[in-house]
A and B are shown apart, each in its own frame.
Chain A
Amino acid sequence: MPTEILMPALSPTMEEGTLAKWLVKEGDTVNSGDIMAEIETDKATMEFEAVDEGTIGKILIEEGTEGVKVNTPIAVLLEEGESADDIGESSSGGGATSAKEDDDNSDGDESRGKAEPVAASPAAPVPQPDASPDWPEGTEMQNMTVREAINIAMIEEMRNDENVFIMGEEVAEYQGAYKITQNMLDEFGAKRVIDTPITEHGFAGIGVGAAWGGLKPIVEFMTWNFAMQAIDQIINSAAKTNYMSGGQLGCSIVFRGPNGAAARVAAQHSQDYAAWYSHVPGLKVVQPYSAADAKGLLKSAIRDPNPVIFLENEILYGRSFEVPVLDDFTIPFGKARIARPGDDVTIVSFGIGMTYALEAADKLAEEGVSAEVIDLRTLRPLDYDTVLASVMKTNRCVTVEEGFPVASMGNHLSAVIMERAFDYLDAPVINCTGKDVPMPYAANLEKLALTSTKEVIEAVNKVTYR
């Protein structure tokens, strides 16, 4: 049967084009790959190649014709043994055929138009916060720094699962640039505690590949600032591939290291990536404040079958907290912690922001204001229910973080609170954030660029109309 040659789509956006020039004529033999015509698309003039071999039986659209719709028959190709007489009625007249094709096209568009729009997110349910304790009452506690907690979490998980290994700059022989990986080389050897060259982009990618190969890498960035070199691998490779592979290629990997401002290290070394990574579907994002959370959440992160961004803080490394003495202690993702119960205002924070939040709550208590302080702990998945239930109780909310103000975690929480608890609010939500400037070096300016306990108290005063 003669084959109709159709007007091709030659770019992702092309709907019609000009048949600029025929390079073959009726009776010519064409082979696969031969250039048959020049076609002007919305982008450029393109050469149109033959796919099948045969003889040009009839040219249906003359050269120079503009506005030829994609999929309109433009010529008829005869196979071996066929003649022009075999050309059926359907392709005998270009005009009639293209009208038919137009109908087909409009049918297609119509059916596309009929597709039901998909809801952007499910309807908002009533918040049901999980208020269960993180460990049983009466559990023995021990004092531990955040640094020790992270170290012991990794050691326990590496003892547990031989596929867990750590790689990064100075993690092995140097014992960690911030001494987080102390003693690990001695216990696990160079196969599982791998010093990398200073090459974040490369080793982040190697980590992701190793995870696909069945291992459970912990990739340490000396600081998250340097992970900017690797962000393509984190987002395009680690976060998206499970989706792009239809669920075949999950990536069980932890990217961790200190995040946010340390002290006097200026703009390139002082940035909070909480909101950046929380933006990305496919990632899980954790930013612990206490040593107990650092330990319990890191153990969960290592066991999680997904890529986890674990944001630590250099200033918090040396702080001590009570940590439960339990054989296998983990904290689940997506469960915030009420660090301090209260009735008058909700202060939501995470990571080092908790320092300001708790200090502000102490001072406010002296003035008779009872603040409920929530530590989000994980930013993705985010425990909206605990926040919403608290705001529905206190009717006021202040968020606290060190990151930049535009598109901050606080902005996002404000939007969710507005959507789901609008009628409960007695005042607009205020976001306390870092200032909208690169971090300055000078001590006085650096202090101004960060948020502060004072700013949190002022915000609480504002939302409580004091």
Chain B
Amino acid sequence: MAARKTTKKPNVSADELKKYYRDMLLVRRFEEKAGQLYGMGLIGGFCHLYIGQEAVVVGLEATAEEGDKRITTYRDHGHMLACGMDPDGVMAELTGREGGYSKGKGGSMHMFSREKDFYGGHGIVGANVPLGAGLALADQYKGNDRVTFTYFGDGAANQGQVYETFNMAALWKLPVVFVIENNQYAMGTSQKRSTSTPDIYTRGEAFGIPGEAVDGMDVLAVKEAGAKAVAHCRKGDGPYILEVKTYRYRGHSMSDPAKYRTREEVQKMRDEKDCIEHVRELLLEGKHASEEDLKAIDKEIKDVVNKSADFAKESAEPDVSELWTDIYVEDTREDA
């Protein structure tokens, strides 16, 4: 594997590096397993894998504090695992079982966790952007200093409601970090063919929102930029845009023949820019971990993922009575 050029010696502890390695590996192995279960027909419908983009969520979660919120689009498994949601519950939702986060009623694209402040999981491209700004408005209204990470892709960045939201977020100084996960392809359409500006973050300038591009294949770079963005929001200075340049190795969804890019392009990214390999090299070169240490982590993650797959297979389908529940929140007011 070709070595990546690390521009400077990272100022990061061994424990931190190991955590990133573990967290990114969990996402990757989980997604590979999800792909496998999809192939076996255990997961249905649409299934969008996050493989390749792991450094984005792991780097940003490293800057989050208790009470911060996150919301994303449909390529959401990585975000859930990175914010600490239980792999068992996520996988069981993918298989549509009662043990899933949404009791099997949401599926891959619609999962939520109040407990972990994860607000979905949204299937309509761009719709989660105003929703994220709304979550931020609630925190601002309550007078706390929490921030909301609002993730969306380079494809969503062409939706009108994104710019409606930029305008209001800037106008009202909402504490929201807009994270544009630019993986270069909106489904099968490359950024060049869909987007008038090469650097999407510059679109924030029109609204007075500061922003920057970040190497999304480098978890340390993501974390550093994320910390700056979060500090800006927490201070009450309004929104911030991070355009995280990343790459997805797999197709848009499981049924993507991927004719819009070459196999060589994908292989080149895997060989030269892989985010997990990067941290692995830092760990080994810095003598923070031995091959054996990393093998042990690999084994540990494999076990977690296998356990989640077993849970997702064994968990029962939702009871038929669940068809009729959760349509409305029960009104428990006395005068209702």
> A: which residues have CB within 8 A of B?
6, 8-12, 14, 32-33, 35, 41, 43-47, 49, 51, 70-71, 116, 118, 165, 191, 196-197, 199, 201-215, 232-233, 236-237, 241-250, 252, 281-282, 284, 300, 303-306, 328, 330, 332
User: Which stretch, B106-114, B194-202, B284-292, touches the partner chain A?
Assistant: B106-114
> Across chains A and B, which 5 residue pairs bring their CB atoms closest together, nearest first?
A209-B134, A213-B138, A205-B130, A202-B164, A8-B39
CB neighbours of A232 from chain B (8 A)? 124, 127
Tell me the complex Cα distance, A170–B158, Å.
28
Tell me the complex Cα distance, A246–B168, Å.
31
Tell me the complex Cα distance, A241–B105, Å.
10
Given A206-B165, A209-B138, the answer on whether A245 and B130 have CB atoms closer than 8 Å is no
Asked whether, in the complex, the Cβ of B255 is within 8 Å of the Cβ of A51, the reply is no
Residue of B123, B131, B320, B330 most packed against chain A (CB within 10 A) = B131
CB neighbours of A236 from chain B (8 A)? 123-124, 127
B133: Cβ under 8 A from any A Cβ:
yes
Tell me the complex Cα distance, A215–B143, Å.
13
B171 CB to closest chain A CB (Å) equals 7
A98 CB to closest chain B CB (Å) equals 15
| B residues 99-133 in Cβ contact with A at 8 Å | 100-106, 110-114, 119-124, 127, 129-133
Asked whether, in the complex, the Cβ of B327 is within 8 Å of the Cβ of A207, the reply is no
CB neighbours of B41 from chain A (8 A)? 9, 70-71
Main secondary structure of the interface of B (DSSP, over half): loop
Asked whether, in the complex, the Cβ of A51 is within 8 Å of the Cβ of B45, the reply is no
CB neighbours of A249 from chain B (8 A)? 112, 114, 119-120
- Taking residues whose C-beta sits less than 8 angstroms from the other chain, chain B's interface range is 35 or more
Tell me the complex Cα distance, A244–B104, Å.
9
CB neighbours of B233 from chain A (8 A)? none
B65: Cβ under 8 A from any A Cβ:
no
CB neighbours of B114 from chain A (8 A)? 248-249
User: Which stretch, B29-37, B53-61, B72-80, B179-187, touches the partner chain A?
Assistant: B29-37
CB neighbours of B110 from chain A (8 A)? 241, 244-245
| B residues 19-41 in Cβ contact with A at 8 Å | 32-33, 35-36, 38-41
Q: Which listed residue, B45, B101, B141, B325, touches A12 by the CB 8 Å rule?
A: B45
B326: Cβ under 8 A from any A Cβ:
yes
> B: which residues have CB within 8 A of A?
32-33, 35-36, 38-41, 44-46, 51, 69, 71, 100-106, 110-114, 119-124, 127, 129-139, 141-142, 160-161, 164-165, 167-168, 171, 249-251, 254-259, 263, 270, 320, 323, 325-331, 333, 335-336
Given A10-B254, A209-B130, A304-B331, 6 other A-B residues pairs in contact with their CB atoms under 8 A: A6-B40, A8-B39, A202-B167, A244-B106, A246-B101, A332-B336
Given A196-B168, A206-B165, A210-B135, the answer on whether A51 and B33 have CB atoms closer than 8 Å is yes
Minimum CB distance partner of B333 in chain A: A303
Asked whether, in the complex, the Cβ of A33 is within 8 Å of the Cβ of B141, the reply is no
Asked whether, in the complex, the Cβ of A46 is within 8 Å of the Cβ of B36, the reply is no
CB neighbours of B137 from chain A (8 A)? 206, 209-210, 213, 215
Asked whether, in the complex, the Cβ of B112 is within 8 Å of the Cβ of A241, the reply is yes
CB neighbours of B136 from chain A (8 A)? 209, 213
Given A202-B161, A245-B112, the answer on whether A46 and B141 have CB atoms closer than 8 Å is no
Minimum CB distance partner of B325 in chain A: A247
Tell me the complex Cα distance, A67–B33, Å.
25
Tell me the complex Cα distance, A67–B248, Å.
31
Asked whether, in the complex, the Cβ of B113 is within 8 Å of the Cβ of A214, the reply is no
CB neighbours of B250 from chain A (8 A)? 49
Q: Which listed residue, A197, A207, A233, touches B171 by the CB 8 Å rule?
A: A197
Minimum CB distance partner of B146 in chain A: A213
Asked whether, in the complex, the Cβ of B40 is within 8 Å of the Cβ of A71, the reply is yes
CB neighbours of B122 from chain A (8 A)? 237
B318 CB to closest chain A CB (Å) equals 9
CB neighbours of B119 from chain A (8 A)? 209, 212, 249
Tell me the complex Cα distance, A10–B331, Å.
43
B206 CB to closest chain A CB (Å) equals 14
